[in-house]
Chains A and B, each alone.
Chain A
Amino acid sequence: MQQYLLSGLLFTPLVAAFIALFLPSHASGTFKLVTLITCVIQVVLLLLMLSVYDSTGGLQFVEQHAWITLDLGSWGILKAEYLVGLDGLSLPLVSLTVGVMLITTLSSWTVEKNVKGYFILLLILNTAIIGTFAALDFLLFYLFFEFMLLPMFFLIGIWGGARREYASVKFFLYTLLGSILILVALIALYISVNDPSVPGRLVHSFNLLHMRDPKNFISNAILDPNNPWMIGPLSARYWAFLLLFIGFAIKLPMVPLHTWLPDAHVEAPTPVSVVLAALLLKIGGYGLLRIAYPIFPEAALYFSWLVALLGVISIVYGALTAMASKDLKRLIAYSSVSHMGFVLLGIASLTIEGVTGAVYQMVSHGIISAMLFLLAGVLYDRTHDRVIDNYSGLAAKMPVFFAAVLVAFFASMGLPGFSGFIAEVMVFLGAFKSGSANGLLHESFAIIATLGLVLGAAYYLWALQRMFFGPFHVKGDAAAIALTDLNNREYSMLVPLAIAALIFGIFPQPLISWINPFAQHFSDAVLTLGKSLTPIH
């Protein structure tokens, strides 16, 4: 029973989507209900899983079935499996997904246009995201990874704002470009990796766990760590790492590959923005931690300065652009770029603190960015205007909304007591320690990154000052009347998120106890393996 829990969690939305397909499209309420029930079932399943999860137990809830087994004669066997499982990296992210999806469903209650299509796409997206986090077979991962694109394309393109078509196509093309780079690495990897469990035959395996072990590489294959090929100045393994890194960095997104994000966020409807910021961005960091780093540790060590540098640039550039943004959603989008920079910096440090901080930051940003986009949506629902300068003195008119924004902004800028603080502190600890512990990063990276905190405080406080203080003023009379305080549905979405941000800020231990074993194992494995492999470059 226990071993099927994860598959249950994964496929419940897909089954629900299939059922919803056959419901009459005029009964729009039923689709909301079906989606809500699905999310509640997922929460129950997740709680069941959490109750039996052993934080020191490594991979759990593993389910393995044969999927594609092709005998290709002398060429060997091509083998892809349905292999899923959760560990200290994926469990927090899957939990985040389940929680955010529930809130997204509530937030989607106001959707009126083509309700059936919307909720079916949302359910498919739900399965795809959980599948991406749960898959341990590269082909399966890739399937779910690509499967997110189409629902997202339509969710932005059909239900989005004025420039939705442009934004959705841009989103699709950028992400597809990234996934093609990942595909090249995928092809090179599965051709080079042999599944040792079948003796006597060459089995080209997509299993991510096999790919981590240098012994499983076919000798003289292109990615064989003992005898890697040179392509130009670098060995093929270094190129493969770079391909994966760029592919996932587009998703993260990292400067200078981030330009799709502000457009997608600004044009997407509020619930879709929430999914995009809280969940989809995490797949970039997840991919680095799950695939790029463990499989190519020596390249990861070699390029750690580059990863950290790009992380720091993202932190500072994102913050500066956020400060210059006139649109509230754009400001939040750039703040996401800035915060995801911390994930890169934490991963690059390859210290236990840094990696724990990076994963913590992913969860924390998931919670806080969901809240920020919901709040931006609250304002937009009422006035259909997101330009910061068109508001002033909102604090008096909408006091509860003001309080909520205050919480979200402070949480996002990393004030102690909120989850963002814990995450960023650990990333800084890791980045500072890296120089002395493993000699990967110079301290200056961490020092420049602190600029991000200062700038973060600056753009949030400045936005607060402009929008909420001073005499009350809104552009247009109709807008002034429309400005009412939060309603019950909005409470039900924002309060749990605010509480979560606080809990993870005050009692970080439960979450850390999940992440920490993973972080230990991860940084150990990457460092030892990376140093033991011949550094040809």
Chain B
Amino acid sequence: MAQQWNNQLNDIAGSLSWFIPELILALFLLLLIALALFKTNRTVLLTCCMAGFILSGVGVMATGLSTQATLFGGMTRVDGLASYLKILIDLAGFITCLMSFEKPSTHRAEYFALLMAVVLGGHLLVASTHFLMIFLSLELISLSSYVLAGYSFTKAGSEGSLKYFLFGSVASAVMLYGFSFLYGITGTLDFSSQVFFDQLIAKDVPMVLFAALMVLAGFLYKIAAAPMHPWAPDVYEASPIPVMAFLSVAPKLAGLGVLLKFVLAMNLFGQSSADWQAIVCAVLLLTITIGNFSALRQQNPKRLMAYSSIAQSGFLLVGVAAFLPQGVHFMLFYASVYLIMNFAVFVYLDFFEKKSITSIAGFSGAGKNLTWPSIGLLVGLIALTGLPPTAGFTAKLFIFSALWQSYELSGRALLLWVVVIGLLNTVVSLFYYLRIPYFAFLKSGEPAEKQNNITFQNLLGFILVLLLLTLFFIPGILMGWINKINFVL
């Protein structure tokens, strides 16, 4: 008994050194809550929050992308994939801080603490290899985001927040139900363990697929993919733009990481009787198509971007659907570019919202007097469409190359259809991505007053846009780094 305790304590102590980034985040979370007691000004809170994200990011980088360790008796695992996604999530939190110089006007300390909590949840989620850990970290993300979504403190905001909560609770409950079945069948909660595989191969019953689909539903909810997407537009529309930008990136990437691990685990290296490739392909085609076609008729830029983020989830899933290590690498590249382009667009949308341009038609004539922000927005949207010379094109090229490669290896006609339909969807997406520039440049209207365009926000947007262009011409600087990740299940 004592020996066992001793071993466990040793394991925990040994794990803690790998756990430094998460400890930093937890520490800063507590610090922010403590600071809220004294009415500190915005600068202190903001600096504190950004410092937390930077330190955590540096901590992840210090552990490197090629290391691997199982922590806390199989609850979480440090590996390249998780570390890379952690860095992206930290970065998303950091940029959100940069966007939050003015908003919110009340409950600031709580706002930053909640951001911190979502990022912490994301860190834990991408590292989880244990069903209970997944549930805990997912709930940490969810509960914090429910509150963040209502941060405009309006009636619409509360409604959005409540909607998010109700949908989210149901999705979590369904997921948890699925967990319970899988636990019952395999007798373990650690889905990366050998026992889990052996049991699933031994007990190949239809119930496994049923339970796995229920779990998948919970993850699809998190990444806003069809058929679990309907909450996204309402929630996004109701939340303030920095929150919306954050919610469309951080939880999505975290959910994607765990979805990837789970799907690969359930696929049992191709030994599963269920066709997981077909399931992922069906989900992604549905997601891309629904997202794109729903976006066509939107009049509000925020709703448009909500549907765009749904469609982008589908494109991210293409990397999963390839079921190749290269597909995962390319998916991480896509995820990085998605982060940059999504934030670029939201930074500019925030800028235009401050100029009280809140509908797509309201952009009429904006290209004339707010030329530079309009051009920046154009580049961001072109990147989301996937046209050169932006990294959005490179990312799409890579991710579909992986799928094509997978088609060559397996010869499944389904994958060819995904390539063709996925790419043709780009044409549809151009139609709505171009709507804002269309109004800004082609329609003449009552243009906003000519103002100083050099604001901090524009500078931030400009840097992101520059990154998008740079990554098109030299993708090697990022891809070389991602390629170091040695991906294993």
Listed in ascending order, the chain A residues whose CB lies under 8 Å from chain B are 67-75, 114, 142-143, 146-147, 149-150, 153-154, 157-158, 164-165, 168-169, 172-173, 176-177, 180, 183-184, 187-188, 190-191, 221-222, 229, 231
Contact = CB atoms under 8 A, between A and B. Distances in A.
B387 A149 contact: yes
Contacts of A72: 326, 329, 479, 483
B206 interface: no
Taking each of A158, A187, A231, which has the highest tally of chain B beta carbons within 10 Å of its own beta carbon?
A187
A146 B387 contact: yes
Contacts of B479: 70, 72
A165 B438 contact: yes
A173 B430 CA distance: 8
Given A69-B476, A150-B382, A184 B442 contact: no
A177 B427 contact: yes
A187 B443 CA distance: 37
A180 B368 CA distance: 31
A154 B378 CA distance: 12
Interface stretch (B21-29, B91-99, B397-405): B397-405
A187 B401 contact: yes
A172 B434 contact: yes
5 contacts: A67-B473, A72-B483, A75-B405, A164-B442, A177-B427
Interface string B452-489: 00000000000000000000011110011001000000
A74 B327 CA distance: 13
A173 B419 CA distance: 19
Interface string B414-453: 0010011001101100110010001001110000000000
Interface of A (DSSP majority class) = helix
A68 to B, nearest CB: 6
Contact of B408 (A154, A164, A168, A222): A222
Contacts of B483: 70-73
Nearest to B329: A72
Contacts of A173: 427, 430-431
A355 B408 CA distance: 35
B159 to A, nearest CB: 35
Contacts of B393: 146
Contact of A191 (B382, B404, B420): B404
A365 B397 CA distance: 35
B441 A154 contact: yes
B20 to A, nearest CB: 29
A188 B404 contact: yes
A177 B404 CA distance: 19
A338 B404 CA distance: 38
B427 A180 contact: yes
Contacts of B443: 165
Given A146-B387, A176-B430, A191-B408, A184 B438 contact: no
A180 B423 contact: yes
A164 B443 CA distance: 10
A254 to B, nearest CB: 19
Interface of B (DSSP majority class) = helix
B397 A187 contact: yes
B480 A71 contact: yes
Nearest to A188: B404
Nearest to A116: B371
A523 to B, nearest CB: 32
B427 A176 contact: yes
A26 B441 CA distance: 19
A147 B389 CA distance: 7
A452 to B, nearest CB: 32
A25 to B, nearest CB: 9
A173 B296 CA distance: 14
Contacts of B404: 187-188, 191, 222
B388 interface: yes
Given A176-B427, A190-B401, 20 more contacts: A68-B476, A70-B479, A71-B480, A72-B479, A73-B325, A74-B325, A146-B387, A147-B388, A147-B389, A149-B387, A157-B438, A165-B442, A168-B442, A169-B431, A173-B427, A176-B387, A180-B424, A187-B397, A187-B419, A191-B408
A68 B388 CA distance: 14
A68 B475 contact: yes
A176 B426 contact: yes
A351 B38 CA distance: 86
B411 interface: yes
B212 to A, nearest CB: 29
Contacts of A158: 441-442
Nearest to A160: B442
Contacts of B389: 143, 147
Interface pairs A-B: 7 shortest CB-CB = A157-B442, A143-B388, A75-B326, A146-B388, A177-B427, A180-B423, A222-B408
B293 interface: no
Contacts of B408: 191, 221-222
B407 interface: yes
Nearest to B411: A229
B413 A231 contact: yes
B442 to A, nearest CB: 4
A191 B424 CA distance: 20
B389 to A, nearest CB: 6
A74 B443 CA distance: 51
A176 B428 CA distance: 10
Nearest to A142: B388
Contacts of A188: 404
Nearest to B408: A222
Contact of A68 (B382, B411, B424, B474): B474
Contact of B407 (A143, A177, A222): A222
Contacts of B405: 75, 191
Nearest to B396: A183
B430 A184 contact: no
B420 A184 contact: yes
A184 B419 contact: yes
A200 to B, nearest CB: 19
Taking each of B382, B389, B434, which has the highest tally of chain A beta carbons within 10 Å of its own beta carbon?
B434
B411 A70 contact: no
A71 B484 CA distance: 10
